[in-house]
Structure 1
Amino acid sequence: MAARVPDLREGDPSNLNALVAEALERLEHGGSVELERWAAGLASPRREAVLARVAHLQRLGFAPDEEDVTRATAEPERAAANGALEREGSIGPYRLLARLGAGGFGVVYLAEQHVPIHRRVALKLLRAGFETSSVLRRFAIERELLARFDHPAIAKVLDAGESAEGEPYLVVEFVAGEAITDFCRRRRLAVDERLALFREVCEGVQHAHQRGVIHRDLKPSNVLVMERDGVPAPKIIDFGLARALGGASREHAMTREGTLLGTLEYMSPEQAEGDADIDIRADGYALGVLLHELLVDDLPHGRLRWREASLGQQLEMIRSLEPARPSALAPSKELARRLAGDLDWIVLRALAKDRERRYRTVAELAEDLERHTSNRPVLAGPPSWSYVTKKFARRHRGEMIGGGLVLLSLVAALVYGAYAFRRLEDERASALVAKAQAEQAETAEREERERAEVLNRFLAGMLVQGNPLVSGTRVALSDVLARAEETLASGAVPEERTRLRLDELLMQSWRGLGRYAEAERAQARVLELVRRRDGDLARSTLRAEAELAWLRARAGRAAESLEALQRIDRLQRENGFDDEDTFQVRGFLAGALRELGRISEAEALYAEAIPGLSRTAAEPTAALTLRRSYALLLRETGRLAEALEALQAIAAELRELELEGRLRGGDVFLPALCASDLGSALLASGAHVEALPHLERALEFQVRWLGPEHEQSLATRNELAIAAKAARRFDLARRSYEELLPILRKQLGPHAKGTLAVQNNLAVLLQLMGELDDALALYVELVPAARAAFPAPHPTLATVLCGHAEALGQARRYEEAIALYVEGIEGLRRSVGAEHAWTQQRMQALNEVLRQSGDTAAAERLAAGVWPPR
């Protein structure tokens, strides 16, 4: 632990702060010689306090060191001559477009690359005159660390090199997003939406930690969010302060780039103290600050209080002042009630002063948030009986209200049965139930063996219910699975063969629900047990490892799974394996390559795996599943006609298997999956009428097994509405939109883009149906929300305004219609251009409304190109 720095509050703090500021200025312009000369004129106690504070700031990276200052002051002419701050032209194959920002020693540009591919990138250039050994070392460290990552939540490093003048540069993925806090605030995301986004950030940070890298500068401006296909996608950027775990020395660890004002509030106590042994829990602390800010839009110590504090007071806050509970800083009582309890406990654990009391890993933090959202007891809070009971009741509220107490009794029996099974191992004379207590002592051992077997079957039966294909009560079954997982984790089933079977069932059930993170955890336990039983190279071990890798790919971590699948495939080829497992692995590998966009490699493997699996698999559905995956690849690569042909053939074969009663277990869901794929492909091809029965069938299955609010159900319902509208099945389209809209309002919020898009589609549909009153009523709600979500001149807002104007025109409310048309068209002219087809179509509609209103002069001016026409 570093020695404690003298507190600036000793004496007159304002005077001391002014002296420190003066000292930093002299250090920057004259180096240590000038600093020492100036400090010699201070009284001894004050001089020691100021110099100690400057040294502390240097260790933190808030002040330049001597080497940096010497080089910067010795060569100002070179720095100015190269014009690094206002540079134009190109660096290597990158043409500079704009300056995105600048740090103490580097400038970040938006650049464009044309060869060998066309893309926009962020280019970080080391300023001329600052090529000190420490700065060059930091540049090299940043490049090396970034090269380790392959995760969708981390900006990728693309290139590195030197300019013609010898200046080092680093090229990374350009992230056209905004700070995560700004994104959530502007879109008014609900708490659950913010937590989901934050968990994605945690996954990215955990990926870095697994690669041996600590970020050390996590803050909102380094976590950007952009939208990809309407879905928020976070990206972690700027690993310039990152360090590798187990670094060789403190010198290498303390990388810096001059002044880094504004990040102190995200530093852990040990990082603010300047400790050399920073570990991953420092990033966990920073994420705790970020989570606090996401939940209540305020810092743990209060933003206003923080800004008014001196630097010394801020450091003291980090060291010793306990943070406020998020609920205590919530801007509304409703939000305070939402945060009280679980989320307060989770944030405070992440912000513990003593890092031994924090979450050990970022994955633990994310898992605790998942436990909260699924109404399971969190690890951060005191697990009192009343708390756990309340959580259980909330999880099963639907069953309690609906009278489905049988499921609750089964869960209770599971808990009791697991406890009794454990006692069987310790006290062989104990009984499971009251009947066993009445048995004679001489039959006790036989009864215990029988009951252990019954319990095993009972547990297996409970877990099978977790598969949505069996029960259909998705929420309740998620709770059953979670409870079963907790029971297994408690050591209630010590016998390994039983535990292996239960973990396999857990994995299959979680996978059936589409919960790949939970399925992955269960499969990891399966792999551990199989490996311990059969050895590293056993066929069973390779099969379990391949299944685990595929689950990771399904969870969006295809790059992580690729190495394991390639290794297993290589072993199988070297040993001449030619069975179902062999071709299943090749199918998994093809799917992972498809996820990574390596299409030609994926197609080559599909060409091997599909016929191989058709020949060797015990069940025909194995090959059909792989053929479906290949059909999706065809669609993703623009070969829609081929995809349609493949999906139609798969659907026909599945119908035959259904009629023959040959679909069992998880296979019964395949027809619904294929129906969804086929309906979506037909819709994309313009075959709206043909798409309808497939989409209706898929939706029926999804609502039954997954629930009406599952993301797959929502996506299919939206496609059904679009197809029905295009097929002029207006009643079906209206019913679909009206069922979809309240769910989106609840899940996304009334002002979310997805909600507003569906609301706008419904309003347009109502106009087509001639239901003008209903359409106008919907627009009255929609327009203010669109103004808030899409500030002018956003084309989406303009489209909504013109839609409202069209409805008003149909209702003969011409003046209101004309005003909205003018506003909407002005937005289109500014956003997409006056000559764009959207703009021209709306101008023709405005011309018609002007004529209907009797203002032919304005209509003629508009036709002559005069804007605005009035």
Structure 2
Amino acid sequence: MTLTDRELEDFRRLHPEQIGPYKIIRVLGEGGMGVVYEAAETEPVRRNVALKVVRAGLNSRDVRARFEAERQALALMDHAGIAKVLQAGETSAGEPYFAMELVKGLCLTDYCDAKRLSMNERLSIFVAVCRAVQHAHQKGVIHRDLKPSNVLVAEQDGKPQPKVIDFGIAKALGLRLTESTLVTYAGSTLGTAAYMSPEQAESSGLDVDTRTDIYSLGVILYELLVGRLPVDPSSQSIHAFLARLASGETNAPRPSTRFTGLGEHQAPIAHARRTNPEHLRRDLKGDVDWIVMKALDVDRSCRYETAVSMATDIERFLENRPVLARPHTALYRLRKFASRNRAGVAAASVAVVAVITGIVFAWTGMVRANRAEQIAASEAAAARQVSDFLVGLFKVSDPSEAAGNQLTARALLDSGARRSLAELRQQPALLGRMMHTIGSAYLGLGLYDDARRQLDQALSWRERSLGANDLAVAETELALGDALRSRGDMEAADRHYERALAIRQGALPADDPAVAKVFSSVASLRWKQGRTNDAETLYKRALAINERKLARDDPALAKNYAGLGVVYWAQQRFPEAEAMMRRSLAVEERRLGPDHPDLAALYNNLGGLYWSLERYADALALYSRTRAIYERTLDPMHPNMASVLNNIGEVHWKLGQHAEAEPLLRNALKIKEARLAPGDPAIAVTLNALAGTLRDAGRASESETAYKRALLIRQKALGSASPIVAETVVDYAKLLRGAGRGGEADALVAKHGPAR
């Protein structure tokens, strides 16, 4: 907006043009403390700052003392989440000022609403705020005026970075900030009422400690999630509100209860959190209610002791671990355990329950069709037996039955495998289904040998009880193929896929999605064998069926798009590869949201494509996102973890950061060698990258050893004509030429004949 001459004259009369080395640009805000300007520093460096001065007419002793306390408090702190103090001084009129880092961002609530951040995304930003406040507390400083407008969020490298500003009424703990530090005048109210703690609202405010900021954080979190304050001061006089607050009579409802009572306002609030009212209400209820209400406890001894303990509890919620804010019942611990192990325990338990439900429904339907009450009673007893089996599998509360309450997904599956064999042997069909489910869960955990053994037994029991051509047998044949392919036993995998396809094609229509599922698995095998043209054909056959038969958000479609994208990537058809990978991501993000663990592999693949295009920064961002998801959800020795560690190591190698690359690649190699077959080409991927890193770091002898191993594995698995083999030959030849062994390099290239 252009100022008129009169407005410009008024501005100049009210505000100086220059303060010290700072040229005033505009007013950012005015408040009880003073005026905040955006100003340009002209010397000794050129930069824009936030310049805070005491307003004319407010130069009283208490204001000046608080202002000096703020300057001193900020000078103590050095944290990415706290606005930095750059300089302090006095104006020509003797008014104190200080220059702060200029944060060009929105206040916390406005930023989250503008970006339509989900509840979990808001919680992640709030954790960073808690950690910034913790830093201040460790320096002996209480903020005492925490509110959304004092938390600005800017973006750095595309990621939100909250910064806490305005320690204007900070109180030092056991530390004399300045000679003129004043106690709060009796009866005066410092801070914004809506976010004020009960002890802060008392007349003296002398007995305030860091837990007053915990309460304020609780109010901020409440508003951030629900879109409303727990108690609104505007609903009554400020004096009545403060009196009730000081007496502890806040009667704040739980967040889920407050949201439920918002009626027609629920929909826009949920929309701003990228969900609907029903889902938001469900997400708030339970752990989030407990966390927020613990921070808002009127008895400060019942609040979180520190800001970091609040942050840690929120992180426990985000990681599906039991939160400390709520009582821990055995059922609650079990539910949390299952939620955070969705690749293992959740897969096992949910799948088993689904199997049982399916069996019960199928059997119930058969019973109704035959009108046989005796059979119904028999099958009901079987269902109870399976239910007892599951209860026993999860029971860990009795010390006589378990060493403790700390389960692992593998231990749970091992127990289930032993007990199913011992207790269900007289029911072979049910035993086969149970073993198939547990074997599939082992596969999800990356325990390929365990998966193969369990699935072999499942196949045997199913063939014995159902016949060799039953569709359930095909299901287990397909799972066995997946386990063997993942491990690197490609010939054995091919045999099981062939058998699964024959059964399904014999029993189902040619365009049934179950047939397409086999095409997709064989396509993945062909890609791993380096037969990319065959893989492309098979993925397209699967898509031709699934795009006609399945809903647009079906996960099978996303899997096909992702697989075809990887094939195009291997064929160096990079634009087509990116289009397919992004199409897959679009399907899964619509279905699951952007932070679901199932998206990790898609981010990893897209990162690999960007690596091939030498877009290393983009690749690293996606790899880092993948790694964070895997670290939350997978065993550290899972082969998928090896994949992303390998990829991050390759980025560091290409950036010349050899010291960072080597440990990542060696860790990836350790996992692969422990979990994969000795001749799996995935091992050669890491060996080749490690060899390149060592070569470029000047460690030729170690590099050559790794290249020889990589070449041997790739030749045996893929054949000499594979372009993947050519990659190792060319890289190895570069090492030899760099060592002055050009003749050997030429002989190597001639022998293996890399594609030109």
**What is the TM-score of this pair, normalised by structure 1?**
0.39
**What is the TM-score of this pair, normalised by structure 2?**
0.45
